[in-house]
Structure 1
Amino acid sequence: MNAFASWLLSLAHTLFNPGFCPGDWVWATSAAGALIALVPVLGAVIVAIMRKFTGNTYDAATISVIAVVGLVTVFLVPWLLANGVSASFRAAAAGQPSGLSGAELGTLNRDYCGFIGRQSEYLGGGQNVFETLFYPSGNRLAYGYYLGALIGLPVVTLFFMILQARSAMRRGQKWPGRLLWVPYVLFVVLSSTVEANTAVHLWLGFLPVAILGLIPIALVGPPPWAVINRPRRERNPEPPPRPTPPPQQPPPAPPKKDYAPTALAPAEQLASAPGPVPVPPGSTSNGSERYRRVRRLGHGGFGTVWEAVDNQLGRTVALKIAHAPDRDTEERMRREARALAMVSHPNCVKVYDLVEEPDGLALVMEYLEGQALATAVDGQGPLDDVAAARLWATTAGALAAAHDKGVLHRDIKPSNIILDPGGLPHLIDFGIARSRGDSTMTATGMMIGTPDFVAPEQAAGAAASPASDAWQLAATVSYALSGYPPRGTRESPMAALMAAARGEPASRLPQRSAHARLLIASLDNEPRRRPTLNVIQREIEGWLARAGKSPDGPVTRIVPRNQTSATRALPPRR
C-alpha cells in the first residue's frame, strides 16, 4: 500500500504542482487529500445505487454489504493511503527509499517560503498529529493553528460525511447511514500517526471533495417508490413431518365440529357475502325497544345520524338510518356493516350492531364526542408539523387496517376525522365504503367523494383503490397544515371536480413544512408512484422519533366538555 500511496502522491504532483509558496509538493499533498476523499464518495454512490434495487430491505445480507462498503471505502483505504503518503515524506526526509523518483526528490528538497523551508523536512521531519496536539512546543500561536486545522477541519468534514450518508439513505431509515460515517470517525482517530503538517494539507484537500461529493450521490437519486412499496417475500417455514401411526392401528377419525368459524375466510368474501350481519351476544333485532334516540346529529345523502342510548348496555351510541328502506339501500347498509365490523383499530370508528328501526335499517356505531378536524383548523388555525405527523401516522394506520380487510373508505376529508376530547383523531363515516371488487352498490349518478379532496383517478372515473385513499389522506393532512385543500378552492363543486379530473397540480401545499416532500410524493397524479400507507406510517413515525415525540399523542389541544356546541359524532357524508 505504501508503493500505491507513493504513486498516488506522484500523480497528485503531476496533476497539481504550482511553483509558488508554500511549494509544489505542499500543494500536491492537498491534491492527494482530494483524491483520497473520492474513495468515500464512491462508497456512498455504490450504496445509493444498491438501494435502487433493494429499497428499504435491510436484511443481514444488505446490512453486511453496506458495512463492508463503509469499512473499506471510508476507513481502510483512506487510512492506508494517508499513512502511506506520510511514510513517503518521512522516508524522503530521512534519506531513505521513498518510492519517489530522483527528479521528484530533487524538487521535494527545494526550499519554499520562509516559514516552510525545505519541503521534505516540513512534510516529513516534524511531529505527528498525536504529538502535536498532546505535547505542544510552547508556541501558543502555532498550537492554535494546529488545533484548528487538525481538529476543526475533520469535524467540519464529518458534517458533510453525515450528509453523504443521509443522501444515500433517502426515502428510508437513517440508521444504516451510520455504517458510512462511523468508519470516518475511526479513520480520523487512527490517523494520529500521520505527520502533522502532512495531515493539515491532506484535510485541506479532503474537505472540498467531501462537500462536492454530495452532487453525484444526489444525481443517483433515491430508490423509486415502486421498489420501496414492493412487498417483502417471506419464507414459509416447512411444516414438521407428521408422525406415522402404527400400521396395526387405523388413524383416528377427526372429531366432528358443530360450527366452523369464518374468521379465516378472505376479507373480500366476508364483506360481499349475502346474509345477515353476525349479531353480538345480548343484542336484539327489535331496535325500537333497545335504542332510545336523544338528538339528531346530521343529515346527508345516505341517511340520518342520531345520538342514541343503548337501553340494554346503558351506553351512548350513534344510529345511522337509511333514508329510503328499499332493497338496494338495505343491502348497502348490510355490506357497510359487514365491512366495518371486520376493521379493528383504535383510530377507526367501531360498529356494534345492525338493527331494524321503525323508519328503516339502522347501523349502530361508536359515539365519538369531540369536534371535526375541519372545525378545529377553522377555529384554532393550522396544525404544526408534530400534530400533523401524529394525525397522518395514526389515520394511515386506521386506513391500512381497513385495507387489510378489503375495505376502502373513498371519502376521506377533514370533516370525516373526529378529534376526541383528548385530541386524538378517529376516522369516521364509511358511508360510501365498499370492499374491493364491489361495484354495484353505488346509486346511479352519485359522485363518489368530495371534489376538493378526491383523487385525480377517481374524478376521471377510475375505480377507487388503496392509493386513492392514500391521496385523500395526504390532501387532508395538507389541509390541516395550511388551512386550504391542496388544489385550492373553486367557485363550485363542479369546477373542483373538473380540476381534479384534469389532474391539476397541488398549488396550496405547506411549503415550509417538514412533510412537504412526502406530501408532494403522496399527491402524485400517478397512483403507482405514491408511497403506500405502510411506508408513510414508517416515515412519519421515524420523523417523530428523531424529533423526540410520541406518535400517539394529541393532535390539538383538549376540547373542554362544556363546549357542547362543537360536539358531534358520525355525520353522514354530504
Structure 2
Amino acid sequence: MESIASALLSLAHRLFQPGFCPGDWVWATSMAGALIALSPVAGAMLVALVRKFTGNRYSGPALIAIAGISLVFVLLLPLLLATGVSSVYRDVFAGGTGGLTTGEAGSLAREYCFVGVQSEYLGGGQNIYETLFYPSDSVLAYGYYLGGLVGLPILALLAIMLLGRVALRRGPKWPGRLMWGSFVAFALMSVGVEANTAVHLWLGFLPVTVLGVIPVALVGPPSWSVIQNSDRPPEPKPRPEPPRQPQPSQQPPPYVPPPPSEVPPPPPQKQYPPTSVAPSPEAAGALAAVPGPMPGTTDAGSGRFKRIRRLGHGGFGTVWEAQDTQLGRTVALKIAHAPDRDTEERMQREARALAMLNHPNCVRVYDLVEEPDGLALVMEYLHGQSLAEAVDTGGALDDVSAGRLWATLASALSAAHDKGVLHRDMKPSNVIVDPEGLPHLIDFGIARSKGDSKLTATGMMIGTPDYTAPETAAGSPASPASDAWQLAATVSYALSGYPPRGTRETPMAALMAAARAEPPSQLPRQSVHARLLIASLDPQPRNRPTLNAVRREVEGWLARVGKSPDGPVTRVVPKVQ
C-alpha cells in the first residue's frame, strides 16, 4: 500500500506544489488529503446510483451493497491511503525514499519558515494519539493540534452525514449510519498517523467532502415510480396444492324424500328495520285523522332516527344531523335524492368502503337502513367545522399545522388504499376538524372499491373541479396518485386560502383548466412544504410521491423542528351544543 501512497503523493506534488511557506510537500500533503476525500464522495454517488434502481428497498442485496460501499470507500481506502502517506514521510525521515524518486525525496530536505526541514516536520514527530494524550508544555501548540486533529474531523463528519442524506433522498435516512459510522471508524483507526501529516491531510479532506455534495445531488434521487414499486409489499407465492388421491367411485345414496311431517317450513318474509316498514292501512287511517304531515314528507324524519338539522345538500343526497332514538346517540344520516337501483348500489358501495376502514381519522359507518324517503347511510357524527370553514374564518394554516394535516390525512388515505378503496373527492369541505383541532376524512360518497363498476350517471362529474387531478378531469380512471394530488391541493389551500390552480368563474371553466393540466398558480411559495407540494401536484401521476413517501417526508420535518405529527391542525373550537 506504501507504493500506492507514494504514487498518490507524487501526483499531488505535481498538481499543487507552490514554493512558499509552509513548503511544497506540505501543500502537496493537503492536496493528497483532497484526493483521498474523493473516495467517500464516490461512495456516496454509488449509493445514490444503487437507489436509482432499488428505491427504498433496504433489504437483501441493496443493503449489502450500501454497507459494502461504505466500508470500502469511507473506511478502508481512506485509512490505507492516510497511513500509507504517513509511512512514506517516516521512511524518508529515516533516510530512505519511501517509494518516491530520488529527486522528490531529496526535495523534502528543504527548509521553510516555521516548518523547518519538511521531512522532519512531516515524518519525524509524534503520532495523533501521542500528541493528544501526551501533549507538550505549550498550550498554544496543543490548541493548534486539538483544532486540527479533533475539530477538522468533526466538521468532516458533518459533511459525510450530509453526503449520506443527499444520497438517500426520498427515503428513510437510517442507512446513512453505515456511511458516517464507517467514517468514525476511519478517524479513530488513523491515530497512528503522524500528527503534522494528519493536520494537513484533514485540511485538504474537509473542503472536498463539502463540495462533494454537488455531484451527489446531480445523480438525483430515485423516481417516485421506483419508490412506489419498492414500497409495494411482495405478492405471496401461491402454495402448490398437494396431489389429489383418487377416490374410489361410489354411487350416491338414492334420494329419499322426508315424510310430510318433516318438511321444513317456508322461510320467513324479509324483515326490514322499523324505519323501512310502511304503515298498515289501519295505522295510515289513524295517522290521516291526526293533523300533521305524513311520515316521509317532512324534514323532521320519523321512526328510529329523528332528524334535527340539515348539515349539507349536494347533487347526490342530503346529510342530516339525527338522533338515534334506540341507542341514544347523535349520528349523521345521509339520504339519497333518487332511490333508484343505481343509487342503492352506490350507497351500498359507500357503506362497504367505509366498513372496511379502521382508521381514527376516517369517519365510521354504523348501518345502512331504509328510511321512508329512501335508503340512508348512518354514519358517525363529527362535531366541529370543515377545513374550508376553518381556513375561511381563521386564516391560512402555518407550516407545522399544515404538516400535521398532510401527514394525518395521508395516513388515512393510505389506509383506504390498502383496502382497495379510492376516495376520489378529496377537498377541504370533506375534512372535518373536531373541537380538539384534529382532522377527519369524511364523505366517501363517490368512493369506489377495486373491481366495482363505475355507477356514475351520464353527465355527472366526479369530484370537485378545483381539486380534481388532471388525469381524472381528462377522463382517465382514478388511482391512488389522483387521491394524492387532491390531498396536496387541499393542503395547498390550507396554506394559501386558494385552490392551487386558482378560482374560475364557472365549474366548467375549472374543469377545463384541470383537463388541460394548467400549472398551479396559487401555491404557498414561502412555505417549507412548497417543494413537496410542487412534486405532489405534478401533472404526471408516475412522477408524484406516494402517500407513504409524503407522510415520511413531512413527519421527518416535524421531528426535526421538534413537533409531534399528532397535534392539532387548528385552534381548539368550542363544542357545538
Q: Provide the TM-score with structure 2 as the length reference.
A: 0.86
Could you say which residue in structure 1 is the equivalent of 2:331? 317
Change (3 A) 1:406 1:67: closer
Q: Give the one of 446, 457, 462 matched to 1:443.
A: 457
Q: Give the one of 377, 386, 390 matched to 2:400.
A: 386
After superposition, residues 409-558 of structure 1 pair within 5 angstroms as 409-436=423-450, 438=452, 440-558=454-572
The separation in 1 between residues aligned to 2:549 and 2:22, in whole angstroms, is 54
Could you say which residue in structure 2 is the equivalent of 1:134? 133
Could you say which residue in structure 1 is the equivalent of 2:40? 40
The separation in 2 between residues aligned to 1:329 and 1:240, in whole angstroms, is 43
Q: Is the 8 A contact 1:173 1:542 kept in 2?
A: no
After superposition, residues 270-349 of structure 1 pair within 5 angstroms as 285-286=276-277, 288-349=302-363
Deviation at 1:477, TM superposition (A): 1.1
Deviation at 1:81, TM superposition (A): 0.9
Write out per-residue CA displacement over residues 67-114 of structure 1, whole angstroms, 9 at most, x where no aligned residue.
22111111111111111111111111121351112111111111122x
Could you say which residue in structure 2 is the equivalent of 1:273? none
Change (3 A) 1:555 1:224: same
Opposite residue 502 of structure 1, the aligned amino acid is R
The separation in 2 between residues aligned to 1:82 and 1:352, in whole angstroms, is 70
The separation in 1 between residues aligned to 2:354 and 2:134, in whole angstroms, is 74
The separation in 2 between residues aligned to 1:25 and 1:355, in whole angstroms, is 89
Could you say which residue in structure 2 is the equivalent of 1:396? 410
Determine helix, strand or coil for the equivalent of 2:553: helix
Deviation at 1:130, TM superposition (A): 2.3
After superposition, residues 7-18 of structure 1 pair within 5 angstroms as 7-18=7-18
Q: Is the 8 A contact 2:275 2:302 kept in 1?
A: no
Deviation at 1:436, TM superposition (A): 4.0
Change (3 A) 1:473 1:460: same
Opposite residue 394 of structure 1, the aligned amino acid is T
Determine helix, strand or coil for the equivalent of 1:426: strand
Could you say which residue in structure 1 is the equivalent of 2:218? 219
Could you say which residue in structure 1 is the equivalent of 2:256? none
Matching of residue 210 in structure 1 with residue 209 in structure 2:
yes
Change (3 A) 1:513 1:283: farther
Could you say which residue in structure 2 is the equivalent of 1:186? 185
Determine helix, strand or coil for the equivalent of 1:21: coil
The separation in 1 between residues aligned to 2:197 and 2:445, in whole angstroms, is 73
Q: Give unpaired runs (5+ residues) of structure 1.
A: 251-277, 565-574
Q: Is the 8 A contact 2:88 2:98 kept in 1?
A: yes
Could you say which residue in structure 2 is the equivalent of 1:99? 99
Comparing 1-10 with 285-294, which one deviates more in the overlay?
A: 285-294
- Equivalenced residues, count: 533
Determine helix, strand or coil for the equivalent of 2:229: coil
The separation in 2 between residues aligned to 1:449 and 1:50, in whole angstroms, is 39
Q: Give the one of 383, 388, 392 matched to 1:374.
A: 388
Determine helix, strand or coil for the equivalent of 1:171: coil
Q: Is the 8 A contact 2:275 2:370 kept in 1?
A: no
Larger gyration radius, structure 1 or structure 2: 2
The separation in 2 between residues aligned to 1:546 and 1:237, in whole angstroms, is 40
Could you say which residue in structure 2 is the equivalent of 1:195? 194
Q: Is the 8 A contact 1:425 1:555 kept in 2?
A: yes
Write out per-residue CA displacement over residues 378-397 of structure 1, whole angstroms, 9 at most, x where no aligned residue.
22232233322222222122
Could you say which residue in structure 1 is the equivalent of 2:228? 229
Deviation at 1:284, TM superposition (A): 6.3
Could you say which residue in structure 1 is the equivalent of 2:257? none
Write out per-residue CA displacement over residues 88-143 of structure 1, whole angstroms, 9 at most, x where no aligned residue.
11111121351112111111111122x12111111111222222233332223323
Relative contact order (C-alpha < 8 Å, sep 6+): which is higher? 1
Could you say which residue in structure 2 is the equivalent of 1:23? 23
Opposite residue 486 of structure 2, the aligned amino acid is Q
Write out per-residue CA displacement over residues 427-452 of structure 1, whole angstroms, 9 at most, x where no aligned residue.
11122223345554223322222222
Could you say which residue in structure 1 is the equivalent of 2:295? none
Matching of residue 74 in structure 1 with residue 88 in structure 2:
no
Determine helix, strand or coil for the equivalent of 2:61: helix
The separation in 1 between residues aligned to 2:418 and 2:131, in whole angstroms, is 63
Q: CA RMSD in A?
A: 2.7
The separation in 1 between residues aligned to 2:523 and 2:157, in whole angstroms, is 34
Q: Is the 8 A contact 2:132 2:146 kept in 1?
A: yes
The separation in 2 between residues aligned to 1:305 and 1:559, in whole angstroms, is 22
The separation in 1 between residues aligned to 2:11 and 2:400, in whole angstroms, is 52
Deviation at 1:308, TM superposition (A): 0.8
Change (3 A) 1:42 1:500: same
Could you say which residue in structure 1 is the equivalent of 2:148? 149
Determine helix, strand or coil for the equivalent of 1:175: coil
Q: Is the 8 A contact 1:459 1:497 kept in 2?
A: yes
Q: Is the 8 A contact 1:283 1:353 kept in 2?
A: no
Comparing 406-415 with 520-529, which one deviates more in the overlay?
A: 406-415
